[in-house]
Amino acid sequence: MRMKIAGALAVGAVVITAVGATAEFPAQADVASGLYAGVNQLRQSCGAIRQDPRLTAAAQRHANDMLANNNFSHRGSDGSTPSARMADAGYATAPSGEIVFWATGSSATADAALAFWMGSPGHRAIILNCEFAAAGFATASNGTMMTAVGDFAAA
């Protein structure tokens, strides 16, 4: 079993990639739903974050890219940034934030992703930022590895 995770807070923007939409790799709807529910449980003092299909599309794009290209970073293999992917999906607002996760085997779960994110100060800050009112969560899986992305935005 191998697990690697990464996340960062962008200057002027916070992006979280989301789990659950379909695309070129099978998405894991149960994992995406678990991420959304888990984030909302962690954000009880902020109120529920609403799902936005545009942010989900941006998250799915990056989850697919990470899996297809073994590119485990916030910068896409095409050079795209989280805010550029959100704008390309029709959601151009700031601030925004992104969190990403990848794992294999029994670590490829929503609970593992949430535990990692909450153990990382940068990821935790994004999840608990009450300024973020919308999010999209997406996963991609090739049967061996799963990637997860959460995109968050203020408006």
pLDDT one-digit tens code per residue, 31-61: 888 899 999 999 999 999 999 999 999 999 9
Pairing of strands 50-51, 134-141: parallel
**Residue 8: closest CA among 69, 62, 78, 87:** 62
CA–CA dist 64, 62 (Å, integer): 5
| Residue at 119: amino acid letter | G
Mean pLDDT, rounded, for 22-35: 63
> Has residue 85 got a pLDDT over 70?
yes
Q: What is the pTM of this model?
A: 0.81
Is the distance from CB of 129 to CB of 43 less than 8 angstroms? no
Element (H, E) at 96: strand 96-104
